[in-house]
């Protein structure tokens, strides 16, 4: 362990929560990018409340190499340790969840020290508290539904931390609603055409071969926040020190982005999996509001999730064998003038798809580290400061190209007219 000196070294990146289940996969991805000639990550440190466990995570992430990576001590319950940590880095990657329990002091320390901050939170309350380019004019989108499909040759298993965040999120849903009522209303985008109708509980989506059910995830919240900021700033947010050419590129990019109603659904080829998800949702909904019920849910995750989550998380084989597909089915109008003519029924459909490796512990670290590289190498074109959804920060950058070069594919599947 490296002792902390009076004048701390300024690291390019510090990973906090490096010994956690997801954190160790982030460390493994970071080591692939560390100290290469073309990489902006020239100095890296790992942090956590238990230096021994952090060292074990480093050994797991790089079993064949003995790397001299500084290990720092910090605890989310000890604000001074977080302030010391954040004063030692340009960028902090926070992997300590659940974020509703541990996120606030970390974000506050980053604000106090002035370092940049990225995390992997999927919790709407924490994100709100912190405050498709295929539609070529004159076409306009009206509704986009995302269908997430998790696939594996082995069993699909999630980590306990994800399950705990879901349980606590449902248990504290009233706090989220209270927070939303207390905040000023954000601008709402003008979306051409009617609002989508409420569909069936279980949907058979034959075009992509999936059964689906609405997924109460943070994705829709993130998209709404992004569209609200764009409504207030149609050309996006200016970079901290962008050139005239960079400004022109940013404004050109955001001029192509069109608002649409957005929702997310969990998809599966098996109807049985959909009913398992319904049973899981009912169990969390009924029990999470009671302290004894929460104890039961968190004490026996494998039972109440019907095997989808367990305390020790997935094995390495289960992680390596898994993959994801995320389908986007968009409906809209081939010409925006159709809306003003009273045509309330979209006449155009575009289906796109994003595919990649296991979504939680392989794809997520890839995305996080590519975002980190952009922050370190292109800070001047990113917003000066604030709490923003990732689309606002990285939308006009080459993030999509970077992800494609690292195993995450983006494809247009079809573009067709809808029957009248």
**In this structure, is residue 13 part of a structural domain?**
no
> Contact at 8 Å (CB) between 367 and 412?
no
List the end-to-end C-alpha distance of the chain, in Å, as a whole number: 68
**In this structure, is residue 101 part of a structural domain?**
no
pLDDT tens digits for 310-335? 998 999 999 999 999 999 999 999 98
Query: Residue 65: pLDDT band by 50, 70, 90 thresholds?
Result: confident
Surface-to-core class of residue 276, CB atoms within 10 Å of its CB (0-12 exposed, 13-18 middle, 19+ buried): middle
Is pLDDT at 61 greater than 50 in this prediction?
yes
Give how many domains the chain has, as a whole number: 1
> Contact at 8 Å (CB) between 408 and 367?
yes
> Contact at 8 Å (CB) between 21 and 48?
no
pLDDT of residue 176: 85
Token representation of residue 38 = 């073309």
Q: What are the start-end ranges of the E strands in 171-321?
A: 202-205, 210-214, 261-268, 309-310
CA 6/CA 84 separation, integer angstroms:
10
Is pLDDT at 131 greater than 90 in this prediction?
no
Mean pLDDT, the chain, rounded, equals 90
Token representation of residue 398 = 């080459």
CA 348/CA 135 separation, integer angstroms:
10
pLDDT tens digits for 154-199? 888 898 988 999 999 999 989 888 888 888 888 899 998 888 888 8
Task: Please name which of 136, 144, 132 lies closest in space to residue 349, comparing C-alpha atoms.
Answer: 144
**In this structure, is residue 25 part of a structural domain?**
no
3-state SS assignment for residue 77: coil
Query: Residue 385: pLDDT band by 50, 70, 90 thresholds?
Result: confident
pLDDT of residue 130: 55
Q: Average the pLDDT over 88-106 and give the result.
A: 94
**In this structure, is residue 112 part of a structural domain?**
no
Tell me which long-range contacts 109-112 makes (C-beta under 8 A, separation of at least 24). 109/79, 109/82, 109/83, 109/85, 110/86, 112/83, 112/86
Residue 296 domain boundaries: 121-417
Q: Sort residue 313 into left (φ over 0), alpha (ψ -120 to 50) or beta.
A: left
pTM above 0.75, yes or no: yes
**In this structure, is residue 196 part of a structural domain?**
yes
> Contact at 8 Å (CB) between 131 and 386?
yes
Query: Residue 1: pLDDT band by 50, 70, 90 thresholds?
Result: very low
Q: Secondary structure of 356-411 in the HEC alphabet? A: EECHHHHHHHHHHHHHHHHHHHCHHHCECCCCCCHHHHHCCCCHHHHHHCCCCEEE
Query: Residue 63: pLDDT band by 50, 70, 90 thresholds?
Result: confident
Is pLDDT at 285 greater than 60 in this prediction?
yes
Which residues in 197-214 are b (16+ Cβ under 10 Å) and which e? eeeeeebeeeebebbbbb
**In this structure, is residue 408 part of a structural domain?**
yes
> Contact at 8 Å (CB) between 130 and 94?
no
Q: What percent of the chain has pLDDT over 90?
A: 73
In this structure, how many other beta carbons lie within 10 angstroms of the beta carbon of residue 337? 11
**In this structure, is residue 341 part of a structural domain?**
yes
Q: Average the pLDDT over 229-248 and give the result.
A: 96
Is pLDDT at 129 greater than 90 in this prediction?
no
Q: Average the pLDDT over 254-271 and give the result.
A: 93
pLDDT of residue 76: 96
pLDDT of residue 215: 87
> Contact at 8 Å (CB) between 135 and 330?
yes
Is pLDDT at 60 greater than 70 in this prediction?
yes
pLDDT tens digits for 265-278? 999 999 999 999 99
pLDDT tens digits for 361-375? 999 999 999 999 999
**What is the arrangement of strands in the sheet containing 71-73, beginning at the earlier edge strand?**
71-73, 44-48, 11-16, 89-94, 116-119
Pair type for strands 309-310 and 158-159: parallel
Q: Sort residue 17 into left (φ over 0), alpha (ψ -120 to 50) or beta.
A: left
> Contact at 8 Å (CB) between 151 and 357?
no
> Contact at 8 Å (CB) between 71 and 54?
yes
Q: What are the start-end ranges of the E strands in 269-340?
A: 309-310, 322-333
> Contact at 8 Å (CB) between 25 and 363?
no
pLDDT tens digits for 147-166? 999 998 888 889 898 899 99
pLDDT of residue 124: 60
**In this structure, is residue 1 part of a structural domain?**
no
pLDDT of residue 93: 97
Token representation of residue 221 = 């919240």
pLDDT of residue 25: 96
Is pLDDT at 420 greater than 80 in this prediction?
no
Query: Residue 202: pLDDT band by 50, 70, 90 thresholds?
Result: very high
CA 277/CA 156 separation, integer angstroms:
13
């Amino acid at each position: 362990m490296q002792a902390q000196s009076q004048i701390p070294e300024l690291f390019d990146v510090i990973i906090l929560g490096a010994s956690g289940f997801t954190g160790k996969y982030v460390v493994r991805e970071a080591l692939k990018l560390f100290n290469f000639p073309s990489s902006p990550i020239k100095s890296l440190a790992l942090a956590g409340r238990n230096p021994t466990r952090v060292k074990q995570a480093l050994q797991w992430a790089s079993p064949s190499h003995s790397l001299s990576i500084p290990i720092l001590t910090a605890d989310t319950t000890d604000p001074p340790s977080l302030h010391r940590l954040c004063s030692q880095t340009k960028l902090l990657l926070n992997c300590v969840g659940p974020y509703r329990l541990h996120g606030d002091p970390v974000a506050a320390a980053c604000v106090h020290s002035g370092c940049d901050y990225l995390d992997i939170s999927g919790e709407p309350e924490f994100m709100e508290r912190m405050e498709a380019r295929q539609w070529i004019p004159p076409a306009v989108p009206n509704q986009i539904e995302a269908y997430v499909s998790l696939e594996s040759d082995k069993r699909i298993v999630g980590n306990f931390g994800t399950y705990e965040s879901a349980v606590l999120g449902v248990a504290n849903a009233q706090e989220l609603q209270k927070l939303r009522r207390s905040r000023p209303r954000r601008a709402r985008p003008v979306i051409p055409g009617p609002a989508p109708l409420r569909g069936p509980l279980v949907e058979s989506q034959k075009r992509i071969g999936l059964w689906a059910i609405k997924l109460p995830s943070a994705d829709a919240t993130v998209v709404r926040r992004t569209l609200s900021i764009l409504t207030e700033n149609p050309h996006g947010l200016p970079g901290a020190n962008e050139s005239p050419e960079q400004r022109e590129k940013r404004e050109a990019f955001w001029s192509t982005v069109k608002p649409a109603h957005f929702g997310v659904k969990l998809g599966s080829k098996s109807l049985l999996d959909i009913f398992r998800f319904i049973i899981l949702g009912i169990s969390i909904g009924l029990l999470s509001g009671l302290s004894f019920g929460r104890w039961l849910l968190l004490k026996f995750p494998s039972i109440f999730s019907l095997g989808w989550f367990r305390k020790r998380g997935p094995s390495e084989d289960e992680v390596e064998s898994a993959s994801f597909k995320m389908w986007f089915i968009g409906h809209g109008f081939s010409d925006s003038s159709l809306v003003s003519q009273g045509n309330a029924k979209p006449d155009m459909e575009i289906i796109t798809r994003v595919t990649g490796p296991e979504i939680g512990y392989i794809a997520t670290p890839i995305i996080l580290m590519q975002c980190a590289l952009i922050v370190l190498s292109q800070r001047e074109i990113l917003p000066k400061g604030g709490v923003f959804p990732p689309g606002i920060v990285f939308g006009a950058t080459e993030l999509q190209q970077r992800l494609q070069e690292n195993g995450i594919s983006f494809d247009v599947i079809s573009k067709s007219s809808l029957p009248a």
